[in-house]
Structure 1
Amino acid sequence: MVLDHVSVALPVGGSLALLGRNGVGKTTMILTIMGILPLSGGSVRFHGQDVSTLAPHQRARRGIGWVPQERDVFPSLTVEENLTVAGRPGRWDLASIYGLFPRLQERKGNMGNQLSGGEQQMLTIGRTLMTNPDVLLLDEPLEGLAPIIVEELTAAIRRMATDEGMALVLVEQHAEVALDLTEDAVVIERGVIAHRAKSRELLADRETLDRFVGLNLVAD
C-alpha cells in the first residue's frame, strides 16, 4: 500500500493508535518510520532531526524501537540471552523487564523456541525495551493470542504508556483496545489519513468507528 501525504506527530511521552482495515497502509507506515521501506517523498523526523536517510539500525540507535508483527526471537538463545543481546544502558534493564513480564523471569533459562506464542511476544517487546528507546512502534502485538495473554500484554502496554511515560505508536486491529491504551488516534483509509481524533472521543463515536474500522470492533 502506497501512503499519500500522511503526516503525524507524536509528542514526548505521547501515544498514538493507528487504525483502519487490513491493507490500508498501517504497517507500511510503521515500516517507513523504521526505515525498512524507502521514502519517495517527505521526511521522517525524530527529536527534530531528519532521519530519512538513516538505515534501520541507525534509527534504532537514535531511540526508535520496533516490535514487528513476526515474533522474531532468537530460537537458540535463552530468554535472558535474547533480552541482553542488544541491550543498552538505561531505565529498562533485566529487573524492570522481569517486573513487567514475570513470565519471562520464570522462563529465563528456556530457549526462545521453547516459548508459547504469547511468551515470544513478551520477549520481543522486552528485547526492544532493553535497547531503551524513546518511542516504541508496536505492530499488531495482540494478534492471534489467547485472551489471558492479551490481558497481560494490554496491562503491560498500559503501564509503559501511563506509568513509565513511554511514547508509543500502536497498530492494532481491535479498535477499542487500541483506543483504550492511547491518547490520540489516526484512521488510515486507502493510504491516506481519513480521520483524526482524541482516542476517547473516537471510542465514543461508534458511527465513525463502524464506517472506517467495521468488524475490527470488540463486541460489548
Structure 2
Amino acid sequence: MVNGVLLDEMEKIIEKSTKQTVKQKRIIEAAISAFSEKGYSNTSTSELAKIAEVSEGTIFKHYATKENLLLSLIVPFLKDFFPTIVNDILGEFMNDKCSFEEFLRAFITNRSAFFKENREIFQVVIKEIIYKEELKNELLPYILENGYKCIVEVIEVFKQRGEIKEMPNSFIIKMLGSAIGGFFVSNFVLLNKQSVSNAEIEEMVFFILNGLGQPSQ
C-alpha cells in the first residue's frame, strides 16, 4: 500500500468480502474495474450498470450517487487498514541514519506519487469530507486516533536527536498535518494539478524545517 494504486488494493479486499449482496458485489467489482481503466470522472453510472449487468436504477437504489458508490469502497477500506498503512509508510522511511529533513523529503515525495496515482479518488474523498459533516465526523476522529500514536513515536525519535524543537506533540502534529495536508489538498484538489515538482517538495520541506527544525549549533 505504500506505493500501490488504491483501487487495486480494494479489489483484493472485495473478493474476500461476504457483506454485500450478489448485485452489490457485481456493482462494486464493475466500479473498481471501470474506475481503474477509464478514471472516475470518465465513467458513468450507465456504463457501470452495463458492466455489472444490472439496471442503472439498481445502482441508484443501493448507492444514490456515483460519489456514494466510491465512498462505500473507501470508508470501510480506511477503517480496516489505516493503522497498517500508517505503520508501513512511516516505517519505510525511519532508520537510525535518517535525519528529520530526509524523513520529510522521502515522506512527502512518496505521498505525492501516491496521490498522483489516485488523484481522482483523493479529490472525491476530500470534497465529500468538506461538504458532508457526517462523513467528516466518521473519518477524521478515527484517522487521528489510529495515526496519533505512531506519529508521536516518530516525533520523539527526532526530538531525542535534537532535530525537532521541544513543543507539545499535539501541537507539532497539528502543524505538520495542516502544512502537509494543505500542500496535497491545494495542489491535487484546489489547483487540480496532475503532479507536484521536486522544487515544490523542496520548498515544502524548507518551510517545515524553518518552523520545526532545531537550528544548527
TM-score (ref. length: structure 2): 0.29
Q: Which has the larger radius of gyration?
A: 2
Structure with more of its chain in strand, by fraction: 1
Greater RCO, 1 or 2 (C-alpha within 8 Å, sep 6+): 1
Structure with more of its chain in helix, by fraction: 2
